[in-house]
Chains A and B, each alone.
Chain A
Amino acid sequence: MKNIFQSHSKVFFGVVHLKPLPGAPRHRLAMADIVKAAVTDAVAYERGGAHALIIENFGDVPFTKGSVAPETLAAMAAAGCAVRAAVKLSIGYNVLRNDARAALALCAACGGDFIRVNVLSGAMITDQGIIEGDAYNVLRERARVAPAVQIFADVHVKHAVPLGDWSLADAATDTLERGLADALIVSGVGTGKAADISDVECVRQACPAAKILLGSGVNVGNAQEFLRLADGVIVGSSLKRDGKLANPVDARRVAALARAMTQTR
């Protein structure tokens, strides 16, 4: 199992947005085509110079706040092992909206190195309703099925507001020290929307030694500014052809962002 933060000082995670999977309302494509689209995006990320991939069931709106169904998991496993066979990059999973157990299972099965968890600690009012963090069980499940996998946890995740008046700094500290996250993710209000730089500063100040990742809205224009404070970026939306979410990943856009990131060092 690789620790991605040891291999790169500033890590570039490309998000593979899976097309709607079997069972999801917008599901249209055959499994083979879903897998092919995922592999095509993964290869574009690798060619453009991304360091790692996060595979996400992005097309499956509306998401469940609980456990995803087995057809989702099986389809993600099929896509995951095809991607693994096609690229050399480190791979992780985010099973939306908050199925950390499923993400760990995918790591165990398909050789993943990390997961993204939207709510690990505290509680958020999300578009799926109230989601409570369950670090207790997530960490135990990790020990059981995939002990070496790193957990990247969002702090005040996008498409949600905190339940109660937790400050961002307190939420970050708790997620790190009491939720035992391996990295913290700071995002804007929604997919494609950049975080406030002041929020990143706040989390950095609260958790000086933590690995901090940007979880939305990073592009060629703002990557440098964020990376002064953060250890990596998780990017999907801005790397699609013509910047359109439904399009495939554009290797040239990936390369441009990779270059912009290197210039910060």
Chain B
Amino acid sequence: MDEYVGLDSSGSRLNLPLMPGPNPLFKNPKPVIAMIHVGALPGTPASRLTLAQIEAQAVHEAKIYRDSGVHGIMLENMHDTPYLRGHVGPEIVASMALVSRAVKNISGLPCGIQILAGANTEAIAVAHAAGLDFIRAEGFAFAHVADEGIIESSAAELLRYRRLIGAERVQVWADVKKKHSAHAITADVGIGETAHAVEFMRGDLVIVTGAVTGDAPQKADVLEVKKYTHLPVYLGSGVTAKNLRQFFEVADGFIIGSEFKTGGHWSGAVDPKRVENFITAHTRQAKS
């Protein structure tokens, strides 16, 4: 792998503390984080189930994940389309807090949350209250055009907020050049530089994705990001039991949703066989 280029030779350009390699949350050096796509929440257009039903479904999936040996779980309000931009209503915060707490309690695993779209403050609030360990933030550094509109950097407010409520324990995992988004406005900033900015802005981890949910990242992107940051680099879309081999060496962790679902589509039910199959492939890679 190429040498890290984020700092100049004296190491003084950004005055960053040198981060330890692996994420201290996980014993496994290349953890698998499984997605729970929480059912459409109250008041959203697709809302259909009661919160009790939504919670039961999430708990059911958490148990499958726990028993299959994944290393972490992330919750996301994926069914709440079309997403609000930047902030969500109190009913979403309260609902996600409730479901998160149940998933954390039943799984006993490191757990995190993403609240779409870009509701990163709300995600920190929920993580803190529900005892979760990390959030996934889009629009942490720089800006992009998402299907919700323009998403701008949230890092400064977010980390001040995290400090204000005493939630420093909660890690922030930041997407770079995120899927479902246009990045023309930052066309002169490479994905590596974006990852570098995440580290400079005190993010805890960088996530690299493909173009959309279920799409694999470009290996070249992952390699470039690794060159520009000390932070762990996880893959956030499109990794499958089949293609894991080509990413295993370069990535530090894998966030898996679609691959675990029936039909390989994110909106399907979690299929224990698919989870098992992936974990087997993962274990095999770790040994080879």
Contact = CB atoms under 8 A, between A and B. Distances in A.
Interface of A: 22-23, 27, 31-32, 67-71, 73-78, 80-82, 99, 101-102, 104-106, 108-111, 144-146
A81 B52 CA distance: 11
A102 B90 contact: yes
18 contacts: A22-B129, A22-B165, A23-B164, A31-B128, A31-B129, A68-B90, A75-B125, A76-B94, A77-B93, A77-B98, A77-B101, A81-B102, A105-B89, A105-B90, A105-B91, A108-B43, A108-B95, A146-B91
B119 to A, nearest CB: 8
A252 B128 CA distance: 35
Q: Which of B97, B126, B166 has the most CB of A within 10 A?
A: B97
Contact of A110 (B43, B98, B125): B98
Q: Which of A23, A74, A109 has the most CB of B within 10 A?
A: A74
Contacts of B165: 22-23, 71
Interface of B: 42-43, 51-52, 89-98, 101-102, 121-122, 124-126, 128-131, 164-167
Give the dominant DSSP class at B's interface.
Answer: helix
Given A73-B97, A75-B129, A102-B94, 7 more contacts: A31-B129, A69-B125, A71-B129, A76-B94, A77-B94, A77-B95, A78-B98
A38 B187 CA distance: 52
Give the dominant DSSP class at A's interface.
Answer: helix
B98 A81 contact: yes
Contacts of A99: 90
Contacts of A146: 42, 91
Nearest to B119: A70
A111 B43 contact: no
Given A74-B126, A111-B51, A111-B52, A104 B91 contact: yes
Nearest to A144: B43
Nearest to B87: A70
A71 B165 CA distance: 7
Given A109-B95, A109-B97, A70 B43 contact: no
Contacts of B126: 70, 74
Contact of A101 (B90, B96, B98): B90
A146 B50 CA distance: 10
Nearest to B50: A111
A70 B130 contact: no
- Give me the 8 closest cross-chain CB pairs, A-B, nearest first: A77-B97, A109-B94, A105-B90, A74-B129, A70-B125, A105-B91, A71-B125, A77-B94
B193 to A, nearest CB: 31
B121 A70 contact: yes
B180 to A, nearest CB: 24
A108 B122 contact: no
Given A74-B130, A108-B51, A145-B43, A27 B166 contact: yes
Contacts of B90: 67-68, 70, 73, 99, 101-102, 104-106
A78 B98 CA distance: 6
B129 to A, nearest CB: 4
A81 B101 contact: yes
Q: Which of A68, A110, A145 has the most CB of B within 10 A?
A: A145
B93 A73 contact: yes
A143 to B, nearest CB: 10
Contacts of B92: 105
Contacts of A69: 125
A108 B129 contact: no
B129 A78 contact: yes
B57 to A, nearest CB: 15
B83 to A, nearest CB: 16
Contacts of A23: 164-165
Contacts of B167: 22, 71
